[in-house]
A and B are shown apart, each in its own frame.
Chain A
Amino acid sequence: MSKPLRHFIDKIKPAFDEGGRFAALQSTFEAFETFAYTPNTVTKHGSHIRDAIDMKRAMIIVVIALIPALLFGMWNIGYQHYTAYVLPVDTGTTDFFWQCFGFGLLRMLPMIAVSYIVGLTIEFAFAQIRHHEVNEGYLVTGLLIPMIMPPTVPLWQLALAVAFAVVVGKEVFGGTGMNFMNPALLARAFLFFAYPSHMSGDKVWTAAKAWGTDAVTGATPLAELKANAVNIQSMQYSLGDLFWGIMPGSCCETSTAAILVGAILLLVTGIASWRIMAGVVLGGGAIALLFNLIGLNSYMQVPFYYHYLLGGFMFGAVFMATDPVTAPQTNPGRWIYALLTGALAILLRVVNPAYPEGMMLSILLMNCFAPLIDHCVIAVNIKKRSRRATNKQ
């Protein structure tokens, strides 16, 4: 079945080359061609053999790693909707399971579609203007953005956030590989500050039947803890609920279990940095334990493992902080960055009065510091080398 397609591509290819009728769509054509076929380019010098991995493969592994969280998120959106609006329901039946999943699917698909259509259009346009090949980075970013939004986010806001993240967060710096802030988190931060009423509070976490109407109050466990309204023992969500992710929250970042499945895939394949994941978890846990020792209020007394299960901590640790572009480029730098990211996230959560969740801001802040961290690590290396040179003489 692939032969006729190859012939067809070879036939129409000249029209997209320089001077051809559709030369303006060259990057687009190239993107679709290499999507269908790994190119026949061979090495010229140097390493005559090359690793089978390329950007497409690396990115598709991350997308696959996101799928458990995505599927669970779809079910959870429906589950939160039905338990909040249509109570009492018999939650044990298979029918109900599919009803929940269907509701979430219909909620997520338009969001994913908007994200990909808006983002990829901009990416393709920039690639064409620069005469570059289209980069695969947006395959991941485009899926991450809807996954970290509240399920009630209006689609036009989502489109605006995507455009902002891709243009200001990435393309102005030269595209994938050149940006210094995680574009997906930038999209969320953009909405968080531009349209705070749609991004935080108690009314955005449970999807209503019609888009945009959010009447039901469903505070996230984080917000409840924040307000010192409950202590951990009297919270309506059990440790199991929190681990599996059966609670209101952003679309697909509630389930620690599903995220861990993705984390295992990323670690086994070696795509994501284990140093960063471990560092974030260690840093966050250390600060949480420190707060336990201080224990001034009920929030400070929350056991450290609860912090892993709440909010976007795990999602951030596995999928956001590990972004190889915006994290530091040296191994010691990665440790420092990750420990600080985790620590800062919990610090913001527990101490800052304004925001219930600190993960997004802590990662973005540490993204900004990543070049500085690298600079210091490199300076140590340089100093070591120059000391070695002077000792010899």
Chain B
Amino acid sequence: MDSVTKIRKGLNISIQGSSAQTIEEALDVAFYAVKPDDYVGFTPRLLVGEGNTVAAGTPLLADKKDPRMQLCSPVAGTVEAVVRGEKRHIEAVTIRSAKPQPTPTQYPDLGSASREELTATLMACGLWPMLRQRPFGTIANPHKQPKALFISCFDTAPLAPDYDFILQNRQEDFLKGLHTLQRLTDAPLHLSFSPQQHIATLSYPDRCIKHTFCGPHPAGNVGTQIAHIDPINKGDIVWTVNPQDVCVLGNFMLTGALAPWKLVAFAGPSAAHPCYYRLTCGASIESIVARQCPDPGNLRFVSGNVLSGTRIQSNGFLSAADSLISVLPEGNDYEFMGWLRPGLHKFSATRTFLSGFRSKETTNTTSHLHFDTNLHGGVRPMVFGELWERLMPFDIYPMPLLKAATVGDIDLMEQLGILELEPEDIALCEFADTSKTELQVLLRQSLELIRASQS
């Protein structure tokens, strides 16, 4: 069995309103969306037009560089709109769900299919893009074998869904998904658990290697685990998958039909009764918001966690790979002499506010800590680098790396280990940064710069 890897650097941010372990179903979701921006490096080409009738699994978008890579409709219905942003950039293709949903079509049995056939089917039905590749966080390249595959079976981010709860509900799907992943690659499959996770005691397939991590966030980030298990070197490729995406894959293999659903936590201080919902991928959150937030006017909705998730509108859509919708108040108000206040309710990684001397524990219903989206200050040069080092459990020096990133020095960034990182890995640094710089945006831009220089 495995030994426990103790992560010492990091920070747990405990926010009121984590989800109770109850599942609410039977939501009347009218719209679904596929958002190409969820996939790094995917250049969309539109395959459908507004008003077209689609079934679950009908391709909506294909990658211009590899037309076999497709994003497909999660439900049957009609194409409601193609949402475009600046320069006609496709932001989303929205689908109006058919009522009632027809029985999904059966795919041919893949039980004895070869690796090539399996890969081709997964690409055609839009499930392949759930496989992410590091470095760069792009969709996994089906033509290149990775050196390893990593799955983090727990999440330490604020308000994170409890994967133990989710996976226990979907044990069969999960195990089938793992089997299927092993058919796609010969590389070792690393599964990481937190201590005392029930799901860790399942009997896993042979080539799965179990690891245990304990410690504060980002112990649950797959990037942290890769760095401690088998770090990415220049030239390496590793794959990562979100555990619930494994269930979606397993469900497809078990039923032979595409009905990609997830248990999604709805959480945060502004949620009336935080709980889990059974949602089809890409679902609109509008009907949940109507139940949970009576006054959604001044709230921030985030698909994913509040540290590195995507901002969405109150009628926005669940992003791919997310199993969490966070909701918290906007902080768009002024605070008189904010920098001088004792700060009994302010959260800080430092102890510069009185709250730092109170217990950090938060119960589900009450907390003395207040969280909103205020930036809490003006943008300044990067000064306090030692704080970042306290939050980064990597063998990487954040200040030199991020300064190299600001000047776009590709060689230096690579030497300093940027290829081991994804934006979510430096989310805590961004959170705690006194300079209020958008470090995750900076890191993503730098990674894209390097990727562009390599292709």
Interface residue? B452 (CB, 8 A) = no
In B350-397, the 8 Å CB interface with A consists of: 350-353, 356, 371-387, 389, 395-397
How far apart are B254's CB and chain A's nearest CB, in angstroms? Answer: 36
Given A39-B378, A377-B397, A386-B415, A47 contacting B440 (CB threshold 8 A): yes
User: Are B233 and A392 touching (Cβ within 8 A)?
Assistant: yes
Q: Is B92 an interface residue (CB 8 A)?
A: no
Nearest CB on B from A312, distance (A): 23
Check A38–B383 contact: CB distance below 8 A. Answer: no
Cβ contact within 8 Å between B339 and A46: no
A175: which of B235, B300, B381, B396 is its contact (CB, 8 Å)?
A: B381
In Å, the complex CA distance between A52 and B351 comes to: 10
Query: B432: which of A53, A174, A331, A377 is its contact (CB, 8 Å)?
Result: A53
Q: Is the CB of B372 within 8 A of A49?
A: yes
Q: B374, A56: Cβ atoms under 8 Å?
A: no
* A54 within 8 Å of B (CB atoms): yes
A235 within 8 A of B: no
On chain B, the residues within 8 Å of A325 by CB distance are 383
Q: Give chain A residues whose Cβ lies under 8 Å from the Cβ of B417.
A: 381, 385
Assign chain A's interface to a size class.
35 or more
Residues A271 and B350 in contact, CB atoms below 8 Å apart: yes
Contact A270 B347 (CB under 8 A): no
Specify the main secondary structure of chain B where it touches its partner.
loop
Minimum CB–CB distance for A332 against chain B, Å: 9
B157 CB to closest chain A CB, in angstroms? Answer: 11
CB neighbours of B376 from chain A (8 A): 38, 50-54
Chain B residues contacting A58 (CB-CB under 8 Å) are 350, 352, 383-384, 434
* Inter-chain contacts of B374 with A (CB < 8 A): 38, 40-43, 50
Q: What CA separation (Å) do A56 and B397 show in the bound complex?
A: 25
Q: Is B328 an interface residue (CB 8 A)?
A: yes
Mask for B248-273, Cβ within 8 A of A = 1, else 0?
00000000000000000000000000
In this assembly, does A21 line the interface, its C-beta being within 8 Å of a C-beta of chain B? no
The answer, yes or no, to whether A357 is at the interface (CB within 8 Å) is no
Interface centre among B331, B333, B371 (most CB of A within 10 A): B331
Q: Are B380 and A55 in contact (CB under 8 A)?
A: yes
Give the residue of B235, B309, B381, B434 whose beta carbon is less than 8 angstroms from that of A53: B434
- Per-residue CB proximity of A1-28 to B under 8 Å, as 1/0? 0100110000000000000000000000
B399 touches A329 (CB 8 A): yes
What separation, in Å, do the CA atoms of A389 and B346 have in the docked complex?
A: 43
Bound CA span A269–B311, Å: 32
**Cross-chain contact B380 with A48 (CB below 8 angstroms):** no
B20 is an interface residue with CB less than 8 A from chain A: no
The listed residue (B235, B373, B381) touching A178 by CB distance below 8 A is B381
- B441 within 8 A of partner (CB): yes
**Interface: B1 (CB within 8 A):** no
A270:B380 contact, CB within 8 angstroms: no
Q: Which residue of A lies closest to B388 (CB)?
A: A329
Q: Is the beta-carbon distance between A57 and B311 smaller than 8 angstroms?
A: no
Q: How far is the CB of A39 from chain B (nearest CB, A)?
A: 6
Q: Which residues of A contact B328 (CB under 8 A)?
A: 48-49
Give per-residue flags for A27-38: 1 if the beta carbon is below 8 A from chain B beta carbons, else 0: 000000011111
Instruction: Give bound CA distance, A36 to B340, whole Å.
Output: 10
A54 touches B377 (CB 8 A): yes
Inter-chain CA distance A39–B335, complex, in Å, is 7
Decide: B234 and A389 in contact? CB cutoff 8 A: yes
Rounded to whole angstroms, the CA-CA distance of A35 and B340 in the bound complex is 9
Complex Cα distance, B380 from A325, in Å, reads 13
Measured in the bound complex, the distance between the Cα atoms of B399 and A388 in whole Å is 22
Q: Find chain A residues with CB under 8 A from B434 CB.
A: 51, 53-55, 57-58
> CA–CA, A268 to B235, complex, Å?
43
> Is residue B325 contacting chain A, with contact meaning CB distance below 8 A?
no
Which single residue of chain B is at the shortest CB-CB distance from A327? Answer: B386
CB A140 to nearest CB in B, in angstroms, measures: 11
Residues from chain A with a CB closer than 8 A to the CB of B387 are 270
Among B339, B382, B440, which residue has the most Cβ atoms of chain A within 10 A? B339
Does B438 count as interface, using CB distance less than 8 angstroms?
yes
Question: Would you give the shortest CB distance from B414 to chain A, in whole angstroms?
Answer: 9
Q: What residues of B have a CB within 8 angstroms of the CB of A41 in the complex?
A: 332, 374-375, 378
Q: Determine whether A361 belongs to the interface, using a CB cutoff of 8 Å to chain B.
A: no
A301, CB-defined interface residue at 8 Å? no
A61 to B384, CA, bound (A): 14
Chain B residues with CB under 8 Å of A40's CB are: 331-334, 374
Shortest distance between the CB of A63 and any CB in chain B (Å) = 11
Shortest distance from the beta carbon of A323 to any chain B beta carbon, whole Å: 9
- Cβ of B423 under 8 Å from chain A: yes
With A44-B311, A49-B306, A55-B434: A378-B380 Cβ-Cβ less than 8 Å: no
CB of A360, distance to nearest CB on chain B (Å): 22
A135 within 8 A of B: yes
Task: Give chain B nearest CB distance to A320 CB in angstroms.
Answer: 16
CA distance A331 to B396 in the complex (A): 11
- Bound complex: CA of A20 vs CA of B399, how far in Å? 39
Bound: A382/B307 CA distance, A: 29
Q: Is the CB of B415 within 8 A of A385?
A: yes
**Docked pose: A329 CA to B440 CA in angstroms:** 20
State how many angstroms separate the Cβ of A337 from the closest Cβ of chain B. Answer: 12
| A360, B386: Cα distance in complex, Å | 23
Whether A177 lies near B383 (C-beta < 8 A) is yes
**Chain B contacts for A174, CB-based, 8 A:** 381
For residue A68, which residues in chain B have a CB less than 8 angstroms away from its CB?
A: none
B155 on interface, CB distance cutoff 8 Å: no
Q: Which residues of A contact B347 (CB under 8 A)?
A: 49, 51-52
B296 in contact (CB, < 8 A): no
Are A42 and B373 neighbours in the complex by a CB distance under 8 Å?
A: yes
Inter-chain contacts of A115 with B (CB < 8 A) = none
B386 touches A273 (CB 8 A): yes
Q: Quick check: A37 and B235 within 8 Å, CB to CB?
A: no
Residues of B within 8 A of A51 (CB): 347-350, 376, 431-434
Instruction: Tell whether A133 is near chain B: CB-to-CB under 8 Å.
Output: yes
Verify A133–B380 contact, CB threshold 8 A: yes
A271 and B339 contact, Cβ closer than 8 Å, known pairs A39-B334, A49-B431: no
B56 at the A interface (CB under 8 A): no
Q: Is A60 an interface residue (CB 8 A)?
A: yes
Q: Is the CB of A50 within 8 A of B427?
A: no
A49 to B371, CA, bound (A): 7
In the docked arrangement, what's the CA distance between A271 and B382, Å?
14
A56 vs B343: C-alpha distance when bound (angstroms): 14
Contact across chains for A46 and B438 when beta carbons are under 8 A apart: yes
A123 within 8 A of B: no
Q: How far is the CB of B410 from chain A (nearest CB, A)?
A: 14
Is there an interface contact between B427 and A330, defined as CB atoms closer than 8 Å? no
B425 beta carbon closer than 8 Å to chain A:
no
Q: List 26 A-B contacts (CB under 8 A).
A: A5-B336, A37-B335, A38-B374, A41-B332, A42-B300, A43-B374, A45-B311, A46-B427, A46-B440, A48-B302, A48-B306, A48-B326, A52-B348, A53-B349, A53-B353, A57-B377, A58-B352, A58-B383, A133-B378, A177-B382, A178-B381, A275-B386, A385-B415, A386-B234, A388-B231, A389-B235
Q: Which B positions have Cβ atoms within 8 angstroms of A?
A: 13, 15, 158, 231, 233-236, 300, 302, 306-311, 326, 328, 330-340, 343, 346-353, 356, 371-387, 389, 395-397, 399-400, 403, 415-417, 423, 427, 430-436, 438-441
